[in-house]
Amino acid sequence: MEPVGQTTFWTVFTLVVSGIGGLMMLFTTHASEPTHPQAAHISRVSNLEVRSERVKVNVENNARILDEVKVEIKELRAEQRQSSEEILRAIQER
């Protein structure tokens, strides 16, 4: 087996040390960053889901109330029309 030359040794040594240094740098720079579930801000997503459900419930309630108000307005119009006709008849009879 031939001995490893000085240039080959330092080349391989430099490549290995560079690779290890790169991995260490990668680990240390990303150590302060949140992990993937934390990065997704799960609590914020949950809060948005709850808020969207609240909005959905509010919209459904408002739609139901609006339908009830429409019916009541129709009934009031009918009563008003009947009262107006009675007033007009009373005026005409005078």
The pLDDT score that the predictor gives to residue 14 is 94
The pLDDT score that the predictor gives to residue 5 is 85
Q: Which amino acid is at 21?
A: G
The verdict on 9 and 54 lying in the same domain is: no
The pLDDT score that the predictor gives to residue 62 is 92
The pLDDT score that the predictor gives to residue 45 is 66
94 residues of the chain, pLDDT tens digit each: 577 788 888 999 999 999 999 999 888 887 676 666 556 666 666 777 777 888 888 899 999 999 999 999 999 999 999 999 999 998 888 7
Residue 26 belongs to domain spanning: 1-30
The verdict on 91 and 46 lying in the same domain is: yes
36 lies in some domain: no
80 lies in some domain: yes
